[in-house]
Structure 1
Amino acid sequence: MYQYIDQTYEEVDFSSSDRREGELQHCTFTRCRFRGTSFEEINTIGCRFIDCDFRGALLNASIHTESAFMNCIFTSANLFVAKFVGCKMTGSDFSGAQMDGITLVKGDWSYTNLRNQHLAKQDLRGIRFHETDLSGTSLEKADMREADLTRAQLSRAKLSGADFRGAILDGVDLKSLDLKGAKMDAVHAVQLLRSFGAKVDER
């Protein structure tokens, strides 16, 4: 097992290298390439990855605590049973990534591309999904309580059994969604009625 602490890397190509079972603490990677890199069971703590390329990387069973992955590309990466705790993922692209069994605890996933992902039955409470693309994503029976979904894209998302109580849904096109079986609160009911042009008396 290796350990990097307080290291800084810029435009370094780590592609196809074996970085399994290591620990990174408070390191910064800017515009680095990790294409096809083996990161299984890696542990990152307070690290920053900025504009990095993780295409095809293997991050199975990796754990990330209060790290930031900003504007990173995870296309076709394997994140099976990976765990992200309090991480900032803004602007990152997860197109075609394997995310089955992933664990997300709090954190900021705003402006990310999570289109067509499988997040059914996930505990997503309190996560910030501001303007996140969740189009076609499976959120069946997901716990979305207190999540911030302001202007998130949810077209064609599977929402049966999802719990949105306390979630912020401002700017979401509610009338275009299939909300059958989803749990909503009174605030959402008013928003939904107004989206259809109803005048609601909230007295």
Structure 2
Amino acid sequence: MAAAFWTDQEFTRQDYTQTKLPKGDYENCRFVDCLFSKGFLDNQNFVECTFEGCDFTNANIANTIFNEVTFEGCKMVGLQFDTCNQLLLSLHFLDCNVSIASFTGMHLPNIQFSDCRLHQTDFTDAHLKQAKFLDCDLENAIFENTNLEQADFTSAINFNIDPSINQLKKTRFGKDGLIGLLKKYDIVVT
């Protein structure tokens, strides 16, 4: 049976927690205020799609393709991005709660997070060269063996990055955020 194909469609206020989103390819589609919480979005293909105000809390995204996908104002708590298909992966996050998520071991150069909450999000072993964390709250986010070369943290807050176990060549930080590089030393800065 051939996979379904949707292009240039808008899906508004749909509840996919009880009824699954039909399997298939979604191209240039827009999802507005949809519920995917604890649902199954596995093995889907999203190309040039936008999700606005959607709730993805603890959704299954295993083997799903996200190519040039933008998330705006979405709740994405507990998502395991490291299980999605990484071929042609390109994600953009604006004003989202991406807490307790996992990007472990992912290759995401140039990824952009703008005005996002990334509490306890795991970036262990990730390649985030030239990533942007603009006005993001990174409280208890995990950076271990992470490539952060040329990444931008100039307006990020509450991060804790150990320079001895991460790659930080030409990484940008604001003066107010420098304490986030010294936390392991238990230094008091006034």
- TM-score higher than 0.5: yes
Q: Note if contact 2:65-2:84 (Cα within 8 Å) is conserved in structure 1.
A: no
- The answer as to 2:42 corresponding to 1:51 is no
C-alpha deviation, 1:47, in angstroms: 1.0
Paired residue for 1:25? Answer: 12
Q: Which runs of 5+ in 2 are unaligned?
A: none
Letter in 2 for 1:18: A
1:144 partner amino acid: F
- Indicate the RMSD between aligned Cα atoms, in angstroms: 2.5
1:123 alignment partner, one of 112, 131, 145: 112
Q: 1:174 aligns with which of 148, 162, 165?
A: 162
Q: How does 1:50-129 map to 2 (within 5 A)?
A: 50-94=37-81, 95-98=83-86, 100-129=89-118
Cα distance in 1 for residues equivalent to 2:90 and 2:45: 14
| CA distance in 2: counterparts of 1:113 and 1:31, whole angstroms | 25
What is the TM-score normalised by the length of structure 1?
Answer: 0.79
Report which of the two has the higher share of strand: 2
Q: Which residue of 2 aligns with 1:153?
A: 142
Q: Helix, strand or coil: the match of 2:60?
A: coil
Q: How many aligned residue pairs are there?
A: 186
Structure 1 segments unaligned to the other structure (5+ residues): 1-15
Structure 1 residue 194, shift from structure 2 partner: 4.2
Distance 1:130 1:31, change over 3 A: farther
Q: Choose 1 or 2 for highest CA Rg.
A: 1
- In 1, distance between residues paired with 2:69 and 2:180? 35
